[in-house]
Each structure stands twice: as structure tokens, then as C-alpha cells.
Structure 1
Amino acid sequence: MAYTENMSYVANITLAPNGRVVIPANMRAELGCAAGGTLLARLENGTIILEPVQAAVRRAQALVGQYIAPDANLADELIAERKAAAAIE
């Protein structure tokens, strides 16, 4: 295992015949992933990126949060929209 200039971990990982890989223990620890934990895998520009689902959710929330007023209550807005639609029916 080696470190890159931005202190990222780099490791050679072998792909098993069944397609499985083993993520090194120190990488799993750094990610906070325990046995049975869930990772999100995405293919981006020819690179496989693995991240904990919670990290992906936080990233999505931050992205969406840029477009929502801080005092907005989306649940209340959705309920009001559904009630209005039901009243029309």
C-alpha cells in the first residue's frame, strides 16, 4: 500500500475469477466500513469509484441543498400539493 501526494491510499487489488475484490483493511477502516456494510459503486470516466452509501447520500443532499431555501420544508410542501391534487379530483 502506498500514499499519493494528497494522502490517498493506493493499493494493487486482484480481481478474483468470480469478479470479487478484497478492499484492504486499512481502507475499509478509513471508510468506516464494517463487514456487511454497503458501498455504492459507480463507473466514472473509466474508473470504478466505491464510497459508503452514507457519503453518497450526504453528497446528494449537499447538491440538492444548493437549490432549496434553508427554511423550506419539502415534506409539508409535498403534502400540500397532494391535498390540492386530491381536492381537484
Structure 2
Amino acid sequence: MTYHAKVIAGGKIVIPADLRREFGIKDGDMLILERDAEGGLSIMTFEQSVRDSQRRARAIFGSDYSVDQFLKDRRADWGEE
């Protein structure tokens, strides 16, 4: 479905209520705006950004790679183990 948003005074974007409800966006929430490869604009919630980062990390390191394993590997690189 396509939605339209209006830019009002001060560069504020009015996000349609249906989308705010669907994505759980509340007053004061932080949103991430990002240019995409085609020159477009992507808007996501902070939680969506975290999940995307986690997905990218799993693609690189695998799903069984933990923070503990990462730290162990770094310590080994630094000669601490």
C-alpha cells in the first residue's frame, strides 16, 4: 500500500496514523532516516534498525557467533589469551 506524508513548517513530516499504529511509533520516538542506493529515502524505527544490524551481522558471522565469542576472538588477536 502507498501512503503520502506531508512536510509542514520546520521540515516536520506528518506520518499517517495508520502507519504510526502499525509500527508502534509514538510521540518522541527516534526514527532513522537513510539514503538508499537509488537515491531514495528510507525511514525506520530504532528497533527496526537494530534488527537490520543484527541480520547483517548474522550474515557475516553466522547465527551461532555470540558477543562472548567475538570478545574472545578479539582478545586472542590482541594477545590477551
TM over 0.5: yes
Aligned twin of 1:38: 30
Q: Percent identity?
A: 22
2:33, 2:41 within 8 Å by CA — same for their partners in 1? yes
Structure number with higher relative contact order (C-alpha < 8 Å, ≥ 6 residues apart): 2
Do residues 21 (structure 1) and 36 (structure 2) align?
no
Over the residues paired in the alignment, what is the CA RMSD in angstroms? 2.5
Question: What is the TM-score when the length of structure 1 is the normalising length?
Answer: 0.67
Larger Rg: 1
- How many matched pairs? 80
Question: What is the TM-score when the length of structure 2 is the normalising length?
Answer: 0.72
Moved over 4 A (4+): none
- Structure 2: gaps of 5 or more residues: none
Name the one with the larger helix percent. Answer: 2
